Each structure stands twice: as structure tokens, then as C-alpha cells.
Amino acid sequence: MIPKDPSRRQFLASTAALLATGCKSQQPRPTQDSGLSTQDSSENIIDIHQHTNYSGRTDEELLRHQRNMGVTQTVLLPAGHPVERPSTHMGKSNGLAAKCGPNETCYQIAQEHPGEYFFFANEVPDVENARAGIEKYLKLGALGIGEEKFNIDVESPAFDTVASLARDYDVPLLMHIQYQMYNHGFDRFWRVLEKYPKTRFIGHAQTMWANIDRLAAQNVLYPKTHVQAGGLTDQYLRDYPNFYADISAGSGLGALLRDEEHARAFLLTHQDKIMYGSDCNDPLGKIPLCQGVLTIAAIKRLAPSKQIARKILHDNAARVLRIPPAGKGAHRHPERSKGSSRQ
């Protein structure tokens, strides 16, 4: 999720200045009748990380935001339902700590915009009805589980609940990894990857992206120093076929811009494992405040080739999340049961 500290506006403003030329090229020109982008189909972009009611943003603002960014297909990640327990920091992290809407809100938009909007399933993993709540929306066609953003350990029974569900329903699990806040134990996550070799894990957020650096200080969430290659994130992406990266939010953009020479090599090495997400809560989807637009521009500028940029902005997500081509109409699954597989 986007940081809420006072430096965020300064970070986005300075990044906007750096990428101004590239960002201007990202603004789609709406048609008079539909308001949709006139981009060529080869420029289609999948955003794997957005939220309903994000910091109070309305549904209408969300739809406009995605069109303005030039995104053609969007995955909505719900929050769990509000509870007061340690896994939600006694309620402080309800709504993914950003007022994000639950399953029902994401499902509704996907129903209203078939083929353009898709949804994941989610619930606080240690509540009594967590498994049933997630299964309900998996059976309704959720493409995955997440955003899994709770104060639990990655080797806990609560985490096992969602990891095993992702395995059983053959869908990915998208996790927010943040030191001393969410999904503790990133240094031990190799054990989880080996325990669930058929589960596709998608890593996201501060600790995930700080650890591209093998010298990463775990308490520094937004490092700005040059990167010493070979960190935990690099190792997991290299060594485990079931680990992927969501390059959304300020943490993902920061990982690209802190050391651009490293970023080019990283995008080349992991070109089949990285997926674009925005995870931005502004209402317009334009510079200077829309970090999602800035990330698109950075990927296009830093990717070693147009083919690699397309993989990151579209093809990897289409493959890993099994999203049909844009314009092919509704993406409706027959009711899915435990153990089913979608090709």
C-alpha cells in the first residue's frame, strides 16, 4: 500500500519531474462516445493491484482513474471484513489500513464491467469463517487470494489457511510483505515456497522491494542507496518457480529508480516474473500525483526492450492470473470447486 508519511508528496513530485516526458505519453486520449483509451491493442496494460473505496475514492473515480492511466484490464484486491484482533492490529489495519472495500464491492464492479475488471477473494485469515468466506468468492470466479495484508507470521496456521486454499483452487496468493507489520519472516519464506511448490506467491510492498539489495537493512522501508545485487527477493525470484513480483506502490517504483543500472539488469533477469500493479489511491490517474502512471513510464524507459516491457505490463499477468485478452467479453467461470484447475 502507498505510504502515508509526509514525504510521499515530495517523492511523487520529484519522480514526476524525472519522468515527465515519459508520463505524458501515457495519458490516453478518450473517444467521444465511450471515454475509453484509443491505444493500439499491443499497448494493452493489466493492472494487478487496485482497490475499491481506496482512501475514500468513489467507484466512479476509480473507473476514471484506470482509464486515465491507460490501463485496459484491472484486478481489484479486496480487504477482509473489520475485526479487532492481533492480526489486524486490533482493528487499526482493517480495510488494508486504507479504507479499502471487502469482497462484495470488488465482485460488484467486476460484474458490471466484465472482461475489463476482475477480482480476488480475501478475509482476515485467523477468523473462524475465513476459509468459507474466501471459498465463496473463489467459486464465483475470483482469480486469486489477496491482498493478504495481516499481522501474522508466514509460518503460522493463519498463513497456512490462505496458502493451502490458493494451492487447492490453483490460484495465486498476493501478499503485502512489510517488516514488523505484515507477513513476518521474509527471510524464512523459502520454507513456505518449498512447502507449497504448486502455489503461486506474488510478493509486494516495502520489505519485498527493499530486499533486492543483499545489504538491505530490514528497518529501512524505502531505501535510496545503490543496490548490491543478490538480495533475498532476487534469490527467491531466481530459485523458486512459484514466486513472482508485483511492482506496485511507492516501494516498487522506488526499487526501479533508486539504482537505474541495477533496475535494467533486474528487469532483464526476471522479465518473466514481474507484473505491473499501480496500488495508487489518487482520484485522477494523472501526474504529478499518480504513482501508477509514473511506474508505467519507468518500466517503459528502463526495460531493456519493448518486448520485456510488454511482458511486465501485460503478458506475465495474463499468463499467471489467467486473464483473457481485452475485448473478449465476460470472464465468467462455472462454479469452481476445491481441487479444480483452469487452463
35 within some domain = no
Q: Is residue 15 part of a domain?
A: yes
Per residue in 129-180, pLDDT (tens digit) is: 999 999 999 999 999 999 999 999 999 999 999 999 999 999 999 999 999 9
In a domain, 251, yes or no: yes
- Per-residue pLDDT band at 282 (split at 50, 70, 90): very high
In whole angstroms, give the CA distance from residue 256 to residue 263. 5
Q: What percent of the chain has pLDDT over 70?
A: 83
Average pLDDT over residues 312-337: 78
What is the distance between the alpha carbons of residues 33 and 71, in angstroms, rounded to a whole number? 18
User: Average of pLDDT values for 333-340?
Assistant: 54
Q: Is the pLDDT of residue 32 over 50?
A: no
In this prediction, residue 327 carries a pLDDT of 74
The per-residue pLDDT for 118 is: 98
- State how far the Cα of 322 lies from the Cα of 142, in Å rounded to an integer: 11
CA–CA separation, 237 and 193 (whole Å): 11
Instruction: Compute the distance between CA of residue 278 and CA of residue 111 in angstroms, rounded to an integer.
Output: 21
Give one DSSP letter per residue of 268-306, joined into a string: HHTTTTEE-------SS--TTT-HHHHHHHHHHHHSSSH
**Is residue 25, in this structure, part of any structural domain at all?**
no
> For residue 106, what are the domain limits?
7-19+42-320
- Which is more confident, 39 or 99? 99
- The answer to the question of residue 301 being in a domain is yes
DSSP state of 288: T
Q: What is the per-residue pLDDT across 262-276, written as a single tens digit (0 to 9) for each?
A: 999 999 999 999 999
Number of alpha helices (DSSP H) and beta strands (DSSP E) in the chain: 14, 8
Decide if pLDDT at 240 tops 60: yes
The CB density around residue 281, as the number of other CB atoms within 10 Å, is 26
Cβ proximity of 297 and 26 under 8 Å:
yes
pLDDT digits (tens, 9 = 90+) for 107-131: 999 999 999 999 999 999 999 999 9
User: What's the number of domains the chain is made of?
Assistant: 1
pTM over 0.85: yes
pLDDT of residue 167: 98
CA dihedral 213, 219, 221, 225 (to 10 degrees): -50
Check whether 325 has a pLDDT greater than 80.
yes
CATH of the domain at 217: 3.20.20.140
> Is omega for the bond preceding 288 within 30 degrees of 0, making it cis?
yes
CB 248 within 8 A of CB 295: yes
Report the alpha-carbon distance of residue 117 to residue 101 in Å, rounded: 15
> What integer pLDDT is reported at residue 287 of this predicted model?
85
pLDDT of residue 335: 53
What is the reported pLDDT for 326? 85
Give the Cα separation of 193 and 199 in Å (integer): 8
Is 260 a domain residue?
A: yes
Q: Where residue 230 falls among pLDDT bands split at 50, 70, 90? A: very high
Instruction: Name the DSSP class of 121.
Output: B
Residue 329 belongs to some domain of the structure: no
Contact 275, 245 (CB under 8 A): yes
Classify burial at 113, counting beta carbons within 10 Å of its beta carbon; exposed 0-12, middle 13-18, buried 19 or more: middle
Q: How far is CA 333 from CA 15, 174, 232, 287, in A?
A: 40, 21, 36, 37
**Identity of residue 305:** S
The Cα 80–Cα 94 span in angstroms is 7
Residue 6 has pLDDT above 50, yes or no: no
Q: What percent of the chain has pLDDT over 90?
A: 81
Residue type present at position 334: P
* pLDDT confidence tier of residue 249, bands split at 50, 70 and 90: very high
Residues contacting 24, CB < 8 A, separation 6+: 287
pLDDT at residue 17 is higher than 90: no
The answer to the question of residue 153 being in a domain is yes
> Above 50 in pLDDT, residue 312?
yes
DSSP conformation letters of 247-270: --HHHHHHHHHS-HHHHHHHHHHT
Mean pLDDT for all residues in the chain: 88
Q: What is the pLDDT of residue 139?
A: 98
